[in-house]
Structure 1
Amino acid sequence: MQSYSGTYYFAGRSNCCAALLQRQHQQLIVSSTEGEVLWQGINFSTGLDLPGLATELHFDDGSYFVPDDVSLRLSANGKASLATRLEQHKVAIGLSVLLVPLLLWWLATRGLPGFATAVVPYLPKSVSHTIDRQSMQILDNTLLDNSALPQAQQQQWRQQWLSAMAQLPEPLLFQPDIRFRQAKGMGANAFALPGGTIVVTDELVTLLADKPDALLAVLLHEAGHVQHQHGLKLLAQSTATTMLLALIFSDLEVLSEVLLGSGSSLMQAAFSRDMESEADLFATSALVALGKNSSAFADAIEAISQQHDSKTLEKWSRYFSSHPSSSERIEQAKKPPAPTTTPK
């Protein structure tokens, strides 16, 4: 009969003493070093089984025994706990070394972004409106200046575009808020924020002044991003991944920074190819629904591409929704959408 040394803690008292634990079949016997039996029986349970720490044995009278050997694992059925077996299982250790990084990779690239995207439709509108307000404050203080276009012209364009969007077969899921700004560093461009704020630069209005349908096509493209919640999806995905990394590395301060600064992180987002294609389709379908030629969107892309060199386009394509020259997009825009296609 093997003995295990340790410390016995009396029930309901702070006293403890050195003791020996012996096991006879299913029965345990705890005795003092002088041979006095302190507890004896079969009714006991084990405490938390944590690698590197001694596992306590709790008895039915409230007393407990802590072995000196931290590797000692006893249970009522005589079997080691699952945690102990896994800790000593070489195959399990090898698989964990391989699978844990793969699991983290899947969570960061697929699991959490997918979950975050699925949650976006259920977010209250106040979230996107807050992001819009915060983002516009940052942009107006950094990249954008007040529009130099006459107020009458701004109002004319705004009314025309709002009237056109109100005529779409399927109503928009957001309330458009069209704003004009100067953006010398960005040039002829437009971008949309998640809550429905669509910013059009003076340079774009000037460039496409003689092509009103092309200018409308650009606006519809940006409306397509908002309609399909592309901006919110990007923010939700990046926020979820950042929060996962913050939890892994125990940098909890990052969590608050992510939640408070989600609006500014939109500036570093780039719409995916699928998102751009979806917004393109929305624009061309909307143009057809309004009785206009879908090639107007191709005219807009061609005109904008002539105003930017490739480096400028590459730089701004990382922000908002700049429109780099793409022969594929132009060719697709020149093809009329299928009759059954309607804006989503």
Structure 2
Amino acid sequence: MTEPGLAADYFDGRSARPRRVRLQLRAGRLLILDDTPSSASAVVIDQGTPLRSAALDEVRWPERTRHGARIAHLAGGGELHALASADWDAFVAGAGLREGFVVRSQQSWRAVLAVSVLLLALVAAGWRWGVPLLADATLAVLPASVDAQVGEIALQQVEARWLAPSKLPPAQQAALRSAFDQAVRSAAAEEQPAPYRLEFRAADIGPNAFALPGGTIVMTDELVQLVEGDEAALVGVLAHEYGHVRGRHGMRQLVQATLLGAAGSLAFGDFSGLLAAAPALLGTLGYSRQLEREADGEAITLLRAAGRDPAAMVGFFERLARWRAARGETADDSVLGIAFSSHPADAERIERFRAAARQ
């Protein structure tokens, strides 16, 4: 008795019209038999000539899935479509063809869950350790001249948008420069201090200070006015920004954002710019909080070296909080610098400076 075989649609690669066929397996070959009502070979295989015959290893067998048709590709062109997926899977299994490990794993929710957890762990590890290590390696070979060029471009852009010439008296600017320079030299001791350039500017961004790659530190007139010229507090703020300069934090953030953006583009493709930018944004904010804590540590070191009480920074943050409250603002509303939304919470920073003052 002739084997019934499996019903399928055959596309020969030359015509878009399918042909109804019946598939059978014999002697390691796939036979494609005409299964139209007028074909005798649909009833008795031995009386018909196969439309096509192919060795099993010349067929690109489809992976088993829960839904959808099965489509097999034939060497040299042509396809076989089978809508009865369960019958197709039984037919293939009867031929002795075995599924690979990946295909079997895809059918197991336990395996999919395990792979998903592993993938998330790898992504988290890359974000937590891989990107910072790669950024360190990049910074190690990146010359300081690049920092300076990036910093100059950034300063020009910030000045064009937010900054104006300072209105502080030259004598007050000179006194603050001298006090800060003395603190830097005291903290550096025998080491060579990191080069920096202190600039004073009037601004629409309120009380602020920020450091740019290359060593430029900008302090706004409004910040000096906020603390009523309190030299210890201003030295503390500048020392915090000097910590960014010394650690090349600006370039580090730029490198990390670039790496995360590149990874996002690879993962999501250029067609999804928003998704590709999200990892860079979130990653940069996270790293910024870490770097801010490092910069606060530098501020404590410089204040102590200069013989100044770290508690001066507590007063600064309290004044800043009152200024925000009077304007109905929060830390997240600030544009740049010391009150960046990526900074640790003010309460955390105040407690750290208080603890440093008690020691």
For Structure 1 versus Structure 2, the TM-score category normalised by the shorter chain is: 0.5 to 0.7
Q: How does 1:38-57 map to 2 (within 5 A)?
A: 38-46=52-60, 49=63, 51=65, 52=68, 54-57=70-73
2:210 aligned residue (174, 191, 197): 191
TM-score, normalisation: structure 2: 0.64
1:5 aligned residue (4, 8, 20): 8
Equivalents in 1 of 2:73, 2:286: separation in Å?
55
Q: Aligned-pair RMSD on alpha carbons?
A: 4.7
Equivalents in 2 of 1:183, 1:270: separation in Å?
27
Post-superposition offset of 1:200: 1.2
Amino acid in the other structure paired with 2:331 = E
Q: Does 1:306 align with 2:319?
A: yes
Post-superposition offset of 1:315: 4.5
User: 1:66-94: CA deviations, max 9, x gaps?
Assistant: 2333734548851234554345445456x
TM-score, normalisation: structure 1: 0.66
Question: Aligned residue for 2:295?
Answer: 279
Query: Of the two structures, which has the highest relative contact order with CA contacts closer than 8 Å and spacing of 6 or more?
Result: 1
Q: Does 1:320 align with 2:337?
A: yes
8 Å contact from structure 2 (residues 22, 34) kept in 1:
yes
8 Å contact from structure 1 (residues 148, 202) kept in 2:
yes
8 Å contact from structure 1 (residues 270, 320) kept in 2:
no
1:202 aligned residue (221, 240, 249): 221
Question: Aligned residue for 2:239?
Answer: 220
**Larger relative helix fraction:** 2
Post-superposition offset of 1:216: 2.9
User: 1:24-66: CA deviations, max 9, x gaps?
Assistant: 374422334552233254442425648545432435xx45542
Post-superposition offset of 1:147: 0.7
SS at 2:338's partner residue?
coil
Larger Rg belongs to: 2
Q: Does 1:58 align with 2:81?
A: no
Q: How does 1:1-344 map to 2 (within 5 A)?
A: 1=3, 2-7=5-10, 9=12, 14=14, 18=19, 19-24=21-26, 26-33=28-35, 34=41, 35-37=48-50, 38-46=52-60, 49=63, 51=65, 52=68, 54-59=70-75, 62=76, 64-69=78-83, 71=85, 72=88, 74=92, 78-82=97-101, 84-92=103-111, 95=113, 100=116, 107=123, 111-112=126-127, 114-121=129-136, 122-123=138-139, 124=142, 132-133=151-152, 135-150=154-169, 154=173, 157-158=176-177, 161=180, 165=184, 168=188, 169-171=190-192, 175-183=195-203, 185-187=205-207, 189-205=208-224, 212-232=231-251, 240=260, 244=264, 248=268, 251-254=271-274, 271-272=288-289, 274-288=290-304, 290=305, 292-295=306-309, 297-303=310-316, 305-306=318-319, 308-309=321-322, 311=325, 314-315=331-332, 319-322=336-339, 324=346, 327-335=350-358
Post-superposition offset of 1:180: 0.9
SS at 2:71's partner residue?
coil
How many residues get paired? 317
Equivalents in 2 of 1:329, 1:6: separation in Å?
74
Equivalents in 1 of 2:278, 2:352: separation in Å?
34
- Unaligned 5+ segments in structure 2 are 36-40, 42-47
325-334 vs 193-202, which deviates more? 325-334
8 Å contact from structure 1 (residues 192, 222) kept in 2:
yes
Equivalents in 2 of 1:298, 1:270: separation in Å?
26
Post-superposition offset of 1:136: 3.4
Post-superposition offset of 1:22: 0.8
SS at 2:315's partner residue?
helix
